[in-house]
Amino acid sequence: MPEDLTTAQVRVDADLCEGHALCIQLAPEVFDLSDDEVAGAAEAEGPWDRDTWDSIKSAVDACPRQAISLINTSTKGQ
């Protein structure tokens, strides 16, 4: 059975982020840039609709610092 991660929590590691803002271009409804030019997840909790979820996954793949984590908030299979 495929794991449904559309409820995953999105987190940005501020220590890794260099503020390239690729994530913001790809998913502006989810990511935001703070005054000190570190990205954060303005909207961090799912459930995400399909389009937003695809944008989040694109942002994860595009981040040159691998600073974006998706945390499975479901405990299923733990």
Which residues of the shown chain bind ligand SF4 in the complex (CB under 6 A)?
A: 12, 17-23, 39, 63, 65, 67-68
Output 5 or 33, the one with its CB closest to ligand SF4: 33
Output 5 or 16, the one with its CB closest to ligand SF4: 16
**Shortest distance in whole angstroms from residue 7 CB to ligand SF4:** 21
DSSP for the chain, written as a single string: -----TTPEEEE-TTT-----HHHHH-TTTEEE-TTS-EEESS---PPPHHHHHHHHHHHHH-TT--EEEE----TT-
Output 12 or 56, the one with its CB closest to ligand SF4: 12
